[in-house]
Amino acid sequence: MNESRPETRSEYRGNLSGGSRALAENGHRTSGWQLLSTTLGPLLALCIVWLVFAFLDWTRPLGGTFAEVRSFQLIVVHTAAVAVPALGMTIIIIAGGIDLSVGAAMALAATVGAYGFLNGYPPAVAIGMCIATGLAAGVANGALISSLRVVPFIVTLGTMMVFQGVGRFLAGDTPIRPPRESFAVLDEFQAPFPTPAWQMFSPGVWVMLLLGILVSITLRYAVFGRHVFALGSNEATARLCGINVPLTRVAVYALGGLFAGIAGVYQFAALGEGNPMDGIGKELPIIAAVVVGGGSLSGGRGSVLGTLSGAAIMAVINHGCTTLNVGDMYQDILIGAIIIAAVALDQYRQRRMADK
Amino acid sequence: MQNSVADSLLAMQGISKRFGATQALADVSFSVRGGEVMALVGENGAGKSTLMKILSGAHRPDAGAIRVAGRTFAPGSPQQARDAGVAMIYQELNLAPELSVEDNIMLGREASRFGCLLRSRQRPRVEEALELLGHGELRPDAPVRSLSVGAQQLVEIARALVHDAKVIVFDEPTSSLTGHDVEHLFTVIRRLRATGRAIVYISHFLEEVRQLCDRYTVLRDGRVAGADALEGVSESDIVSLMVGRSVEELFPTVPHAPGDVLLSLDGLCGERFPIDATLKLRRGEILGVFGLVGAGRTELLRSVFGLDAVKSGRVRVCGATFSPAPRSAIAKGLGFVSEDRKGEGLAQGRSIADNLTYSRLQPYSTMGWLRLGARRAAVQRWMTQLQVKAQSPEQDIAALSGGNQQKVAIARVLHQDAHALLLDEPTRGIDVGTKAEIYRLIGQLAAEGKAVVFVSSYCPELLAVCDRIAVMSRGRIAAIRDTNEWNEHAIMEAAIATDEATGDDDERKSA
């Protein structure tokens, strides 16, 4: 078998080089509008939402604070808290999965980190424990889904409760509050107005951007990224092409867990405590960020830029409503409506593309 | 012409439809009389489905008029079309599997008073419809999921009757049926014809058209290429109308000679099928595998490739035993093209480039990172070589026609450098022109020393293309012979005869 390979291959080369060029010239022909409506759609929506709030605020007496740098700094800090775990969720959703346990995993990770700080471990160790906890939770999710062949919705629904219970057990059923000076490193991590001022944004925001770039590059340029998309758009094809489906799936959930662990650091930095109950309900805005950003729950679609925009849209709405003094309930209604509108718009676009 | 329009039950006149830059239909006139079965044939993309979508209310024509039973018909939605008496029976059935036969037939037309079902009023109508179709034995309260595909189709036809359909369109109704069920369906359609309804029959299988239909209309490139009575017209005449070229070009062959044995199966048994499959495949050889649906052809290929579990037996590649699994099969030089392009073969929604290279990304990657430019160039070359018609390698595979999708699926197997190609129904759902390209490609591959297993349920293509043909039945390979020792009749006999023989065997064992 092996001896014959070079022969046939070279034969093919000969065949190939003789081919016509007609197709190459045709090249890329994605229209600008198409690019705008698919890849940049969520970003465009973000700009519109921001402009609407800026305008509404500007028309108020004594208004105009929304468009200031300070409010921008606040918005990005809130964005980062949701966007970091949502990056992991983006990978999971592209691979055709879902992780309901992400909030609980974040809270568990923050609790373990707090435990580390409480016991006076070096900051690097405590932060490492926090991230490793998230990673372990992700590996557990992936291993359970791959080995038991139960749908991820159910598995992660279960582990959500398990992680929360384990956290309460570790924390002795009360939030862990290490002394302030023990985690001085993280003091400024999620501070909206960092000193010195030239940093512009909190370190947490810069870390988010860095992670976003890394995930984006991985999805586009890594073999693993291609496998994730293959798995999400058609698992049978992935298997047929010799892709190691169980291993890829475990890696996907492990990455999701890793990001949940990093998000645990954010959560701990923001609150200064590790509370295993803090994760309740956190998974929903995270999933919403991915979905608003164009991720499809049936797998195969999603993007980092979209997810970051999705998280930012929700942060803008929150902050805008606060600035305008609009009650909490209106924020909820608005965000809920935007989630549905985003998916409906996406469906409409898909149908139109299918019709063509 | 005017005459026939006047007494037509369905008359579509001067229908035009444009999608963006493509003129899907141009001035198409199509009419069917009551008590007549009209064949609508044409290659994929010729405009058949657009025409039928206009008839069913899914699209509106840009120009032209439709009359059903003499009345102007301009449906705004499929619902309106149904109400006006036009029923469509698609290849994929539209049934609620958990509901009973009766509930499915009456769906949307339930007899009720104040919101309560009146089963006593429904039952006679359901029974009457089934009786009319000659299948009074079908129990109205049986859940639809327990029925065979053929029987499910009957339920859908019965639904059309209950909804007073005057025009019934059958869109490729036999592609998922076995030979037996096809016969039953034809009987049913003939009964419908006898009731004076107008039947439109869309099929790729011209033999079926011959058997069943009275007249034909051929569409090519959105225009009517020909329409006439079927009597006295040969199949090759129709094919010429469809493709605009002669039949000699239909099954192109490339001379090739068998070499040494590449792949051998020794008593291979799967979970259910195949049973005790033994065969040898040589380089430069095309081996056809024929069998009725459910005979185990697909299972044979899948277990060789390791997609289905192997219970016992051996697979050897170049004399070396290997335990089948997709990854090692690919590494050993096996390539598998699935019969189910949408569900398994290709990742719809991903680009041509992704689909073509998924099984072998190593040439473009260093330490797990891809060089997209190099990959793009390579994919472009493959697309040129196999004449894949697409805008660019980055185009979504779902946007391509079935034939072009299949070319990408085959290109993937070649790209992964397979030496033994396992092709499962590679020409299913593909237009005649592309079929010819695929036959030529298979011949070329054999000439280059590759071995090809060509699974098909279409005898003429196997007889034209293959060196040897194996006939499967009930999971066993019933016979393998050189192609010149087979003919269509003998193949069918082998596929059916042993079917019954083994059936008796099984009964004896269980008794």
CB neighbours of B249 closer than 8 A, spacing ≥ 6? B436
Contact B410, B423 (CB under 8 A): yes
Residue B274 CB partners (closer than 8 Å, separation 6+): B268, B296, B299, B300, B303, B472, B475, B476, B477
- Give the three-state DSSP class for B262: strand
Nearest Cα of chain B lies from the Cα of A245 at a distance, in angstroms, of 11
Query: Which residues of A fall within a CB distance of 8 Å from B358?
Result: 226, 230, 237-238, 241, 243
- Tell whether A14 is within 8 A of chain B (Cβ): no
C-alpha span between B501 and B230 (Å, rounded)? 38
Give which of B270, B266, B275 is closest to B319, Cα–Cα: B266
* Confidence band for A36, pLDDT divided at 50, 70 and 90: low
Residue type, B291: G
pLDDT at position A16 is 33
Q: What Cα–Cα distance (Å) separates residue B338 from each residue in A239, B409, B439? A: 12, 8, 17
- Asked if the Cβ–Cβ distance from B338 to A226 is below 8 Å, we say no
**B38-47: pLDDT as tens digits:** 999 987 678 8
Q: Which residues lie closer than 8 Å to B125 by C-beta, 6 or more apart?
A: B106, B111, B162
| Class (C level, CATH) for A41-355 | mainly alpha
Element containing residue B95 per DSSP (H, E): none
Give pLDDT, residue B502.
45
pLDDT over threshold 70, residue B1: no
Q: What does the radius of gyration of chain B's CA atoms come to, in whole angstroms?
A: 25
Beta strands in A99-213 (DSSP E): none
- Using the Cβ of A33 and the Cβ atoms of chain B, whether some distance falls under 8 Å is answered with no
Are B385 and A21 in contact (CB < 8 Å)? Answer: no
User: Residue type at A353?
Assistant: M
Helices A245-271 and A203-221, axial angle in degrees (round to 10):
170
Nearest CA among B210, B127, B357, B398 for reference residue A351: B398
Q: Chain B residues with CB inside 8 Å of A242's CB?
A: 326-327, 329-331, 359
> What is the number of H-type helices and E-type strands within chain B?
17, 24
Q: How far is A355 from chain B (nearest CA, A)?
A: 9
CA torsion through residues A77, A78, A81, A82, sign? negative
Backbone angles phi, psi at B394, to 5 degrees: -85, 0
Average per-residue pLDDT in chain A?
A: 87
According to the model, what pLDDT value does residue B295 have?
Answer: 87
Average pLDDT score over residue span A210-228: 96
Q: Is the pLDDT of residue B64 over 50?
A: yes
Residue from A240, A247, A346 to probe the interface with B (highest B Cβ count within 10 Å): A240
Tokens 């059935």 belong to B93
Q: Provide, as residue numbers in chain B, all residues whose Cβ is less than 8 Å from the Cβ of A350.
A: none
| DSSP assignment of B2-52 | HHHHHTEEEEEEEEEEEETTEEEEEEEEEEEETTEEEEEE--TTSSHHHHH
The whole-angstrom separation of Cα A311 and Cα A335 is: 11
Structure tokens at A199: 């940093």
Q: Does A329 touch chain B (CB under 8 A)?
A: no
Q: Do A229 and B347 touch (CB under 8 A)?
A: yes
* Averaged pLDDT for residues A319-347: 87
A21 CB near a chain B CB, below 8 Å? yes
Specify the pLDDT at position B499. Answer: 45
User: What span, in angstroms and rounded, lies between the C-alpha atoms of A266 and A81?
Assistant: 6
Strand B86-89 with B63-68, pairing: unpaired
pLDDT digits (tens, 9 = 90+) for B219-270: 988 899 989 999 888 888 888 888 776 656 778 889 999 999 999 999 999 9
Among chain A residues, CA nearest to B394: A28
Q: How far is A301 from chain B (nearest CA, A)?
A: 8
CB pair distance less than 8 Å for B318 and A244 = no
Mutate to test the interface with A, among B321, B350, B387, B391 (most CBs of A within 10 A): B350
Give the Cα separation of B133 and B129 in Å (integer): 6
Q: Which backbone phi and psi does A37 adopt, to 5 degrees?
A: -80, -25
pLDDT digits (tens, 9 = 90+) for A99-141: 999 999 999 999 999 999 999 999 999 999 999 999 999 999 9
Nearest CA to CA, how far is B334 from chain A (Å)?
11
CB-based contact B326 A229, cutoff 8 Å = no
Q: What is the pLDDT of residue B452?
A: 97
How many CB atoms within 10 Å of residue A347? 11
- The answer, yes or no, to whether residue B5 has pLDDT greater than 70, is no
Residue A4: per-residue pLDDT: 38
| Min distance A91 CA to chain B CA atoms (Å) | 16
Q: A 242-261 residues with CB below 8 A of B?
A: 242-244
| % residues pLDDT > 70 (chain B) | 95
Name the phi and psi angles at A95, rounded to 5.
Answer: -75, 5
Given a contact cutoff of 8 angstroms between Cβ atoms, the answer to whether B425 and B461 are in contact is: no
With beta carbons less than 8 A apart as the criterion, state whether A315 and A78 touch. Answer: yes
Closest partner CB to B347 (pick from A4, A8, A237): A237
Contact between B125 and B71 under an 8 Å Cβ cutoff? The reply is no
How far is B406 from chain A, CA to nearest CA, in Å? Answer: 14
- Selected residue with higher pLDDT from A195 and B214: B214
Alpha-carbon span B488 to B465, nearest angstrom: 14
Burial grade of B344 (CB within 10 A; 0-12, 13-18, 19 or more): buried
Distance CA B285, CA B259 (A): 8
Q: Residue A82 above 50 pLDDT? A: yes
Q: Which of chain A's residues have a Cβ under 8 Å away from the Cβ of B349?
A: 233, 300-301
If DSSP codes are grouped into helix, strand and coil, which group holds residue A3?
coil
Residue corresponding to tokens 């992780």 = A99
Q: Is the pLDDT of residue A58 over 60?
A: yes
Residue of A16, A222, A234 lying closest to B385 (CB–CB): A16
Alpha-carbon separation of residue B306 from A2, B7, B172, B302, B314 (angstroms): 21, 58, 32, 6, 12
* Angle, CA A234 vertex, CA A104 and CA A293 arms, to 5°: 50
**In B127-260, beta strands by DSSP E:** 167-171, 198-202, 215-220, 223-229
Q: Answer whether residue A28 shows pLDDT above 80.
A: no
A74: which residues sit within 8 A by CB, 6+ positions away? Answer: A192, A319
Checking if the pLDDT of B284 tops 50, the result is yes
Over range B158-185, report the average pLDDT: 86
A230, A96 contact by CB (below 8 A):
no
Query: Of A20, A241, A246, which is closest to residue A149 (Cα–Cα)?
Result: A246
Which amino acid, one-letter code, is at A210? L
Report the pLDDT value the prediction gives residue B245, as an integer from 0 to 100.
65
What was the pLDDT predicted at B497? 62
Q: Do B344 and A236 touch (CB under 8 A)?
A: yes
Structure tokens at B157: 């036809």
Inter-chain residue contact A223 with B365, CB threshold 8 Å: yes
Rounded (10°) CA dihedral A207, A212, A215, A217: -110
Domains of chain A by residue range: 41-355
What's the confidence (pLDDT) of residue B505?
Answer: 41
Helix (H, G, I), strand (E, B) or coil at B270: strand
The reply to whether residue A222 touches residue B368, judged by beta carbons under 8 angstroms, is: yes
**How far, in whole angstroms, is CA B7 from its chain's centroid?**
34
B58 alpha carbon, distance to own chain's centre: 23
Residues of chain B found within 8 Å of residue A295, distances taken between Cβ atoms: none
User: Nearest residue of B to residue A352 by CA position?
Assistant: B19
The whole-angstrom separation of Cα A192 and Cα A188 is 8
> Is the pLDDT at A25 greater than 70, yes or no?
no
Please tell me the distance from the alpha carbon of residue A245 to that of residue A235, in angstroms, as a whole number: 8
Using a CB-CB distance cutoff of 8 angstroms, which residues of chain B are in contact with residue A34?
Answer: none
Q: Between chains, do A222 and B369 touch, taking CB under 8 Å as contact?
A: yes
